[in-house]
Amino acid sequence: MNHEPTSAGQLTGKVALVTGATSGIGEAIARAYAREGAHVILTGRRAELGESVAKQIRADGARAVFLEADLTEPGAPEAVVQAAAEAFGGLDLLVNNAAAFAAGPTHTVTEDDFDRITTLNYRTPFFVTKAALPHLLTNQKSKIVNIGTLGAVKSWAGASVYNSSKAALENLTRTWAIEYGPQGVNVNVISPGIVVDAPMSATVLAQVDVEAHILPTVPARRLCTVRDVADAAIFLAGPGSDYLHGTRILLDGGLTA
């Protein structure tokens, strides 16, 4: 069922860094956090898109800045986090969302593909988080939300590099929860199935008859939306999730139930 976004001010005054917020899920999370009262820092390579989203958020009355960066460049995670922490004075929330997909069975994967995907999906969140931790640890009440995938739990042919890189991020989620939970940082992961209105699903949706082959296997009888992911991301950033550490929210509409 569609529903209009509402705001309960759950994140009032929090400073949130959302990587990969120029489109899709990251954009939806940045907008949702802003509606909840957070000051948001958006990142991405497509400056025109990122500036436009930040401008719209500001027009709606929230505070937002866009930082242009290719997070796979050496030193970029540290530089982006530094600039983000300076934007509004500190950091309370980090969403590790930036990622890329590569399709194709393992025997067709090139070393370049492997390095590009694992660098962005695994190495980047590792070093963004490492750089953000000194800021997150200063206030004893911070949250890290990682964006994983259903594919880390239930894999499929043709996604070996992508799904395994996200499985690594899910494992980091649990390790970080153990390492930093005692110091007041909640670390959790949202793992969606196909998100029908987010760009990364385009390759899969172009190859599959969703009505015939996917929806009959999904108890919710619909695919995930960016709104579903943003709602879960608000929950994991807000006070309602204070007792969640190292948990996966599996947004699969019941597929694996």
- Give whichever of 182 and 213 is closer to ligand NAP, judged by the CB atom: 213
Of 58, 199, 210, 244, the one binding ligand NAP (CB under 6 A) is 199
We find the least distance from the C-beta atom of residue 179 to ligand NAP, in angstroms, to be 22
44 scored as a contact of ligand NAP (CB under 6 A): yes
20 scored as a contact of ligand NAP (CB under 6 A): yes
Instruction: Compute the distance between CA of residue 25 and CA of residue 21 in angstroms, rounded to an integer.
Output: 7
Write the interaction track for ligand NAP spanning residues 76-115; mark x where CB under 6 A is met and - where it is not.
---------------------xxxx---------------
What's the Cα-to-Cα distance from 90 to each of 29, 54, 150, 166, rounded to whole Å? 19, 19, 32, 28
Secondary structure (3-state) at 239: helix
Instruction: Compute the distance between CA of residue 86 and CA of residue 141 in angstroms, rounded to an integer.
Output: 19
- Select the span of 56-64, 137-145, 171-179, 189-197 touching ligand NAP (CB under 6 A): 189-197
Helix/strand/coil percentages in the chain, nearest 5: 50, 15, 35
Instruction: Compute the distance between CA of residue 243 and CA of residue 148 in angstroms, rounded to an integer.
Output: 20
- Give whichever of 70 and 179 is closer to ligand NAP, judged by the CB atom: 70
> How many degrees, rounded to 5, is the angle at CA 234 between CA 232 and CA 237?
110
Q: Catalytic site residue 162?
A: yes
Read off the tokens for 212: 């015939």
Query: Can you give the binding site for ligand NAP, defined by CB under 6 A?
Result: 20-26, 44-46, 70-72, 97-100, 120, 147, 149, 192, 194-195, 198-201
Residues designated catalytic: 162
